[in-house]
Chain A
Amino acid sequence: MKFLHLIWAALVRHKTRTAFTLLSVVAAFLLFGLLESVNSVFTQVGHSINAAHRLITVSKSGLMTSLPLSLENQIRTVPGVQMVTSETFFGGTYRKPNNFINVMAVPRNFWDLHTSLKLSPAARRAFAATQTGAIIGAALARRFHWKVGDQIPIKAMIYPRKSGSYTWMFDIVGIYQASRPLMEQQLFFRWRYLEEARLFGGGTVGWYVEQIAQPRQAGRIAGAIDALSANSGHQTRTQTSSAFAADFYSQYVDFGLIVSAVMGAVFFTLLLLTGNTMAQAVRERTPELAVLKTLGFSNRTVLSLVLGESVLLVVLGGALGLLLAAATVHALQVRIGGQLPMMPVGVAIWLRGLIAMVAIGLVVGALPARRGMRLSIVNALAGR
């Protein structure tokens, strides 16, 4: 710590140069924070829904291929399966095409299995009793200022009504809460309503969700479920819910890969930029480093001073960048609401960021520090 003022003095010697370098580090870590915030949504979503006790059965042809309703009773007979429910993707928009809503048709027992979605008993009773009843997430209710008792028109993405109209009317009978606003963006309505009113696709569901007693038997149970349709025209693939979530999101985009690629390019540029700044700064200070060595500063101390300078520069800029990212995510969530697919910049992102900062600082400072450490006092003082 007693050398901190020396490191700081070296850093602020060329204020403009340091400020520009700092800005580039801030920008890099602002981007890192924002991308990691989005990436966290994709990496955590599968783990957030009681993954260990849940399997999901989808058509082997893909998520958008329906499965026959008759399969439900067969799955129920597989040893180890405690409960079976289904979900059917409906999709929809409200008033404007860009007001997309994640709408799902579900049977009444859906709420028995998805206990992490908090719903009052009265709402559950109303859902069971109302053919056109819909349960919406709290964040979705806030987004469109909906409340229980409202009747809302939703334009279907896939299923027209038997009349040919794509507009479906729903009565909001309950509002559920979830652990994160992102999970409060859905609208659930009764599959029975869909089944009776849709023009096509009768007798099918989107996919099945099974609750199992023993997570360690997941492999065996999944195999048994898939064996039920092995020789049929609707072969299935059963996975744990976390694997399903990963597959589900990767069909749109492999966000982890994008984050890695973008951050790789950004950090590589940062390495070159900051490395050049540090090399230049140390080159200019060669006589001063020689003076320090003359006074008795050891090679190791000089090495530490230069490395400390580069690490401090990157950590300062990085911390500022992550703080900005945290503030930006917070501001966006307040302004746009829960539909924003971003997690707050939490401890895990800070920790990864800090590791990246220190690593970049060390890499960037390594060559100039080695140069400072190895300089010959006599030559440096003589200006050679």
Chain B
Amino acid sequence: MSALVEIRSLSKVYQRGRQRIEVLHHIDLDVAPGEFVALMGPSGSGKTTLLNLIGGLDSPTEGTLAVAGERIDQLGQGALARWRATHVGFVFQFYNLLPMLSAQRNVELPLLLTKLSGSQRRRNAGVALQLVGLADRATHKPGELSGGQQQRVAIARAIVSDPTLLVCDEPTGDLDRQSAEEVLTLLQRLNREHGKTIVMVTHDPKAAEHAGRILQLDKGALVESEQVMA
């Protein structure tokens, strides 16, 4: 089976004044469709940078990056924004929900970029909230929800437009153990039952155990790949 994410000799260099910082060095990586990959490594190893590149938030300095056969490293800003809207769902460490919108409205956000009618948007958002077990919290604002619930709303937002790929940056980093477990179980269920391909950055080995494969990054290079026995 061909890879969903196909990375070849990928490098990322940041220029800070006169200083040239090479964050990623010639990464090669394939992520198969329906795979759940955890990216681990010490701070500054380049995990989030790699995740941003896979999610189309940033562009590589060198190398090629294809998702579902599309070379996203060649897309301009506008095309990349359109690509993100249809192909990627994002889950962040601090949820990044819009505080003045209800859970329902937050989940509807990606659908505003589609041609769906208002009622269709509400229906789809309702289904996504149901999937994460928060249908009864639809009218609540983020401030009225616990951290775990907010993260589940963020996951509902990430899956509402049925993207090809979910990218999660430390999704349990701000949660207590029980909430973290609930969120990880939810991600695992989305991967196993709904076939979502997930790439997750985490520091937490216990969180990484929920993935099917763990990749170790160090100083911008992939150093180890380990299959997890479910």
Contact = CB atoms under 8 A, between A and B. Distances in A.
- Do the two chains belong together in a single complex? yes
Interface of A: 2-3, 5-6, 9-10, 12-13, 287-288, 291-299, 301, 377-378, 381-382
15 contacts: A5-B105, A6-B101, A9-B105, A13-B99, A287-B96, A291-B98, A292-B109, A294-B57, A295-B90, A295-B113, A295-B157, A298-B82, A301-B113, A381-B92, A382-B48
Interface in B168-213: none
B101 A295 contact: no
B78 A299 contact: yes
B97 to A, nearest CB: 8
B113 A297 contact: yes
Contact of B84 (A12, A13, A294): A294
Contacts of B157: 295
Residue of B81, B92, B113, B157 with most partner-chain A CB within 10 A? B81
Residue of A296, A298, A378, A382 with most partner-chain B CB within 10 A? A296
Contacts of B98: 6, 9, 288, 291
A2 B77 contact: no
Contacts of B48: 382
B110 interface: yes
Interface string B106-118: 0001101100001
A2 B112 CA distance: 7
Contacts of A10: 100
B86 interface: yes
B100 A12 contact: yes
Contacts of B113: 295-297, 301
A259 B105 CA distance: 45
A295 B82 contact: no
Given A3-B112, A377-B57, A296 B105 contact: no
B127 interface: no
B105 A291 contact: no
Contacts of A293: 81
B106 to A, nearest CB: 10
Given A5-B101, A296-B113, A381-B96, 11 more contacts: A3-B112, A6-B101, A6-B112, A13-B99, A13-B100, A295-B157, A297-B85, A301-B113, A377-B57, A377-B58, A381-B57
